[in-house]
Amino acid sequence: MTTPRHFIDLWKLDGATLRLMLDDAHARKTARKGWPQGKVDADAPAKDRVLSMIFQKNSTRTRFSFDAAMRQLGGSAIISTSNDMQLGRGETIEDTAKVLSRMVDAVMIRANSHADVERFAQVSTVPVINGLTDKSHPCQIMADILTIEEHRGPIAGKTIAWVGDGNNVCSSFIHAAPLLGFELKIACPAVYHADLHDLARAESLQGRVSMGTDAKEAVKGADVVVADTWVSMGDTDHDERLAALEPYQVDDKLMDLAAGNGVFLHCLPAHRGEEVTDEVLDGPRSLVWDEAENRIHAQKSVLAWAFGAIG
Ligand code: CP
Ligand code: NVA
């Protein structure tokens, strides 16, 4: 049996594969401009395919974008929260993976623990896609890069400033940096620093990734400024986080330090008035709505790749 094409972390893939998916996403998006959302792409690369989605945590964008993506690719999706499944009553990850492998063509999981997604993939005979874990959010970064390239051209050589918690989304940016050739400057409080293994891996791949505590320093001259919530799903130290992260709010003054045509990204949901002000989120430098839409386009190409339709 050949190993399924899992999409669990960007660092497990190579730059050429990510490039292939991004190019496919750009082309697919352009080709269907003006079409109704439910119309199927001309090549229908997921025709007759079924994706199952399992959610252990809340979601708006991931849930709707994967469902819409499957429809646009000519396939369909089955969605469930883990609590509605026997998984929520103690059936093992491995047994669930074996059963779903007999019923669907791919599985997307949003899990509390990254290790659970790895365990699922170990046993699954169909592709497994990480829809966010405590450790990473690779689908989000594919959509973010698609958005940056649409507005500012090739990602290679760009500088991205990550401001705030060194969290799961930050990790996926670290994974992507050496593979796609952009510079990543992280500014976070020392207590909420980015994953040190991820940083070490990026360094070993000659990635240009740095981490400090000064938001202004990171944003100075950056092409893209990225923020995310200070309290991710599963975090329990809400008050401590708000106190430590307060100096990392992205406001217009901070954005003014970015490159002249610097843009702002946020995976959403945003906590307005915490990590970002209304003026930035709703302002002319914000690309967050395109970014949200691009979850569909980027994931269609991840799915097309997983199904073997591209690459
Ligand atoms: N950005 C993102 O993954 O959003 P959801 O939590 O709504 O899926
Ligand atoms: N870092 C956030 C991202 C939400 C899409 C979280 O994990 O809650």
3-state secondary structure of 276: strand
Measured CA to CA in angstroms, residue 131 lies from 36, 172, 299 at distances of 25, 12, 10
268 CA distance to ligand 1 middle (Å): 6
CATH class, domain 138-291, is: alpha beta
**Upper half-sphere CA count for residue 140 (Cβ side, 13 Å):** 30
Least distant ligand from the CA of 233: 2
Q: How far, in whole angstroms, is CA 145 from its chain's centroid?
A: 10
Tens-digit pLDDT string for the chain (311 aa): 689 999 999 999 999 999 999 999 999 999 999 999 999 999 999 999 999 999 999 999 999 999 999 999 999 999 999 999 999 999 999 999 999 999 999 999 999 999 999 999 999 999 999 999 999 999 999 999 999 999 999 999 999 999 999 999 999 999 999 999 999 999 999 999 999 999 999 999 999 999 999 999 999 999 999 999 999 999 999 999 999 999 999 999 999 999 999 999 999 999 999 999 999 999 999 999 999 999 999 999 999 999 999 99
0.95 cut: is pTM over it? yes
Least distant ligand from the CA of 133: 2
Quick one: pLDDT at residue 220?
98
Q: What is the dihedral of CA 109, 115, 119, 125, to 10 degrees?
A: 40
206 CA distance to ligand 1 middle (Å): 30
Cα separation of 179 and 18, whole Å? 8
Residues 159, 226 contacting (CB under 8 angstroms): no
Quick one: pLDDT at residue 2?
83
Q: Where in the chain is the domain with CATH 3.40.50.1370?
A: 10-136+295-306, 138-291
Put the strands of the sheet holding 76-81 in their side by side order.
Answer: 76-81, 50-55, 106-110, 128-130
Q: What CATH number is given for 10-136+295-306 in this structure? A: 3.40.50.1370
Q: Is 271 in the pocket of ligand 2 (CB under 6 A)?
A: no
For atom 6 of ligand 2, the residue with the nearest CA is 232
The best mutation among 65, 81, 130, 132 to test binding of ligand 1, ranked by most ligand atoms within 8 Å of the C-beta, falls on: 132
Q: Is 233 in the pocket of ligand 1 (CB under 6 A)?
A: no
3-state secondary structure of 190: helix
Q: Which token pair is 260? A: 């002249």
Peptide bond into 269 cis (omega under 30): yes
> Where does the chain have alpha helices with state H?
15-31, 61-72, 93-101, 114-123, 138-152, 168-180, 196-204, 215-219, 238-245, 252-255, 278-281, 288-306
Reported residue count of the chain is: 311
Q: Would you give the end-to-end CA distance of the chain in angstroms?
A: 19
Other C-beta atoms lying within 10 Å of the C-beta of residue 304: 23
Residues 58, 88 contacting (CB under 8 angstroms): no
